[in-house]
Chains A and B, each alone.
Chain A
Amino acid sequence: MVEVGDAELVRLCCNGDRAAFEILLRRYERPVYNAALRMLRNPEDAKDVAQTVFLKVYEHLADYDPKYKFYSWIYRIAVNESLHDLSRRHRVEPIDEEAPDDHPGPDDEVGSEQVSRHVQGALMRLKPEHRAVIVLKHLLGCSYEDMGEILQLPEKTVKSRLFTARQLLKDVLLDQGTSRS
């Protein structure tokens, strides 16, 4: 099966073709929802953010610059909306917070391994900007270049932030006794 490219679908959308938008929606709903879920942890919040992301994408499709990758654009909206949601709900949990992590997370919902819950719990103890780089790299598989485009940061800054985030995450996991190093 030949897959229609994102750029072609965006062009069709801009000509009023909502069918093309539905294809884009189906193509990106999973990564966008998962990114929001890992940023926010709560499935309901993630769903709300994912909805807002797609409504914004539709609203601003004409502003999309095709010289950039479409996924970079949509992931940028997803990360920004997640950060906005976190700041709005005052649910930022800084790394130095020692509160036990008993909030039900996505993996409780789907019954996955306990270790996945620990990793998600550790992620939630990172600052949102550190969590964002981990999500972009390890969940969405973005390259350094993609991440720079998404976060609108120089590649050097992206790398530095990612390496710091990993170090912090490693420390949190060690603290939780999850990482067997």
Chain B
Amino acid sequence: MIEERHLELIHAELDGELTAEQRAELSRLLLANPEARAFRDQLNRLFGELAKLEDVAPPSDLSASVLGALRIPAGPEPSHIRGRAWYAAPTFRYAAVFVGGLLASALLFGSGARHGAGPDVSQLVGTIGGHDAAGRGSPIDRVKVNLAQVTGAMSSYQVDGQLVVELDLRANEPIEVVATHAGQTVHFSLGSQPDAAPERVLWVPSAAADTGRGVELELYGRGQLLHQDSLRALREERSE
């Protein structure tokens, strides 16, 4: 019969949770007690069996379905959704994805009419007031903007293999930014408030970064194209 404390030591050893002192105690125990050694061997085999449970890739549409459900509230994105998540019910989730698609189509039609641009407005965007880019790492590419109407920088990053476009701009008058990557287009409006603080906008295109395609950026003020630029989408491209 193995003492309870000794069983605990054996489990803790295989779990990697032993202190040096406990390890020494266990070593002495294992040398002296064949029953403890047999138990440890059995437990080790169980760990081996459990290691055979493979990590399964999640369904490819899992992220999209979550994001589709979260995109339901129309208009400006709330800083937080409070209260019971009525959309969590499967029926609502599927309806939500459908309605989201309709909204995206409507936005798409509008953007095409204004700028003759593009196809899809189905990505996540966010606007924040702060200026803390710490932790995002060095940008893949960055362009500075220094116009009378708008100043700042536009950058591309890779975070967890995902392309992230950051606009860090201060606009003195209403400015519209049109960003396009791999057939996806989004619009951002800046400078709607007089003396507005610098605004940071993050955009995560839903498509993977594509070596052949950078991010095209157009800045419009009073309906006129003020500035046109592009950002690289992959770091490797910088070495050319």
Q: Which residues of A are at the interface with B, using a C-beta cutoff of 8 A? A: 1-5, 8, 12, 14-23, 25-27, 29-30, 33-34, 37-38, 43, 47-48, 50-52, 54-56, 58-59, 61-62, 106-107, 109-110, 112-113, 115-116, 119-120, 123, 134, 137-139, 143-144, 159, 162-163, 166, 169-170, 173, 178-181
Contact = CB atoms under 8 A, between A and B. Distances in A.
Contacts of A115: 49, 52
Most A-side CB within 10 Å, residue of B53, B56, B69, B70: B53
Contact of A15 (B128, B136, B203, B204): B128
B46 interface: yes
Nearest to B132: A8
A47 B63 contact: no
Interface of B: 7-8, 11-12, 15, 17, 41-43, 45-47, 49-59, 62-63, 65-67, 69-70, 77-83, 85, 87-88, 90, 93, 124-130, 132, 134-138, 158-162, 164, 202-204
B62 A51 contact: yes
Contacts of B159: 1, 3-4, 23
B56 A106 contact: yes
A110 B58 CA distance: 11
Nearest to B16: A143
Contacts of B65: 51
A157 to B, nearest CB: 13
16 contacts: A1-B158, A2-B135, A16-B78, A16-B80, A17-B127, A19-B126, A19-B203, A19-B204, A23-B162, A30-B55, A34-B58, A54-B66, A58-B70, A170-B42, A178-B49, A179-B42
A18 B83 CA distance: 18
A113 B52 contact: yes
A23 B160 contact: yes
A78 to B, nearest CB: 12
Interface SS majority for chain A: helix
B75 to A, nearest CB: 12
Contacts of B15: 137, 143-144
**Which 9 pairs of residues, A with B, have the shortest CB-CB distance?**
A2-B137, A17-B126, A33-B58, A19-B202, A16-B79, A19-B204, A138-B50, A18-B124, A54-B66
Contacts of B43: 166, 170
A6 B77 CA distance: 21
Contacts of B124: 18-19, 21-22
Contacts of B90: 48
Given A29-B63, A179-B45, A20 B202 contact: yes
B162 A22 contact: yes
A1 B209 CA distance: 15
A123 to B, nearest CB: 8
B70 A17 contact: no
A169 B162 CA distance: 40
